[in-house]
Structure 1
């Protein structure tokens, strides 16, 4: 059953829904139900077989996990931004979504990616979840839910890459998560984002889950 997503629908300006499917995936039944939606997110734990051109694989979501220990330490030069949301942070949020399904699916051509990531960084700023380098060369967002933390956005400015800032941002997020009571940290990314996957694996994270995400787009 496709569930309507009111928030996404209001943000994008057309009907959006989502569905979780399994091996009992019925493509024709889905296509009939999807006629009232413009966009539907399809989540599956395994690859789906389909023939319709309205359905497209847009992401293989890879979630990495690491159990935090008492020795977690971070970069002391990171800060929590104050005042108004700096537009340099908005640009970093866009950088962090370079492999986002909302960016790689070229059928979404009404600034869906920009709308979503601009709102994402705004909410992270309001919730004081952002840690940034002093000159906004990079930033990371970390949220806590119970005894688990999650990195949402992580980006380094193109001019500052290759200096080890990525690892320092991850370590800073670990330290902040540990400080707020988290025992472990999750990092979702795209399997196609090889630099990010290598970064997380090099800092002790292991792949804990893989999920296939498809977009249905009504032509």
Structure 2
């Protein structure tokens, strides 16, 4: 059987952040020999890290990555909630941060906690300070993007207990980025409160739906979204291939 042509997609932002070439490939019925072709392409482009995406039902590609001994670092789950006409009230205690608000130490800690199941944390070849910097930039960028991003938090300034970031996506949908409740403040309903605040913001944007991509292994987060009425739309396996 002839191998399908697989295309490497160079990722400029990731490449700039890491300081070397980073690319993405979606494997579809890929045989083990496909990796020889991909390696040649990657080497020619100076790529050192490839994110390999695989459909969980694609047995051929899953076998190929296993033959390459690539680590499975993420079962990427996409959840979607349709936004209806119902009015959501987040209640008191949720603050909207503006671009000139300081990123406090507790906000940074929440951003890092939100990545507890992140493949960038789980990959042993990525140093922990690099993971921290990645999530710090994510928080800063959302906070400063007043036209299309919102940061919502619970707790007093400098003592924030919960965090959720929201962005307007192409096509009009709203997307949740970071979500975390501090370990000392859990089981108090703050997660649901932040979700309701995000839905309320999505309504203000007149977004038809709210999306979130998280890790299927992050059972607390997935349970939170399911209880809030989100439906699981897609799961993709993500492997890191270092060259």
TM-score (norm 2): 0.83
**Match of residue 49 from structure 2:** 39
Does residue 140 of structure 1 match 2:164? Answer: yes
Moved over 6 A (4+): none
**Match of residue 4 from structure 2:** none
8 Å CA contact retained: 2:121, 2:128? no
Does residue 216 of structure 1 match 2:216? Answer: no
RMSD: 1.7
Instruction: Name the CA shift for 1:161/1:110 in 2 (closer, same or farther; >3 Å).
Output: closer
- Greater shift, 138-147 or 113-122, is seen at 138-147
Aligned residues: 217
**Match of residue 56 from structure 1:** 71
**Match of residue 102 from structure 2:** 84
Displacement of 1:141: 0.7
- Distance in structure 2 (CA, Å) of the matches to 1:12 and 1:165: 34
Greater relative contact order: 1 or 2 (C-alpha under 8 angstroms, separation 6 or more)? 1
Displacement of 1:37: 2.1
Does residue 98 of structure 1 match 2:116? Answer: yes
Instruction: Name the CA shift for 1:110/1:201 in 2 (closer, same or farther; >3 Å).
Output: closer
Gaps in structure 2 of 5+ consecutive residues: 1-6
- Distance in structure 2 (CA, Å) of the matches to 1:41 and 1:112: 17
Does residue 123 of structure 1 match 2:123? Answer: no
- Distance in structure 2 (CA, Å) of the matches to 1:191 and 1:13: 29
Instruction: Name the CA shift for 1:208/1:141 in 2 (closer, same or farther; >3 Å).
Output: same
Instruction: Name the CA shift for 1:155/1:110 in 2 (closer, same or farther; >3 Å).
Output: closer
Displacement of 1:45: 2.3
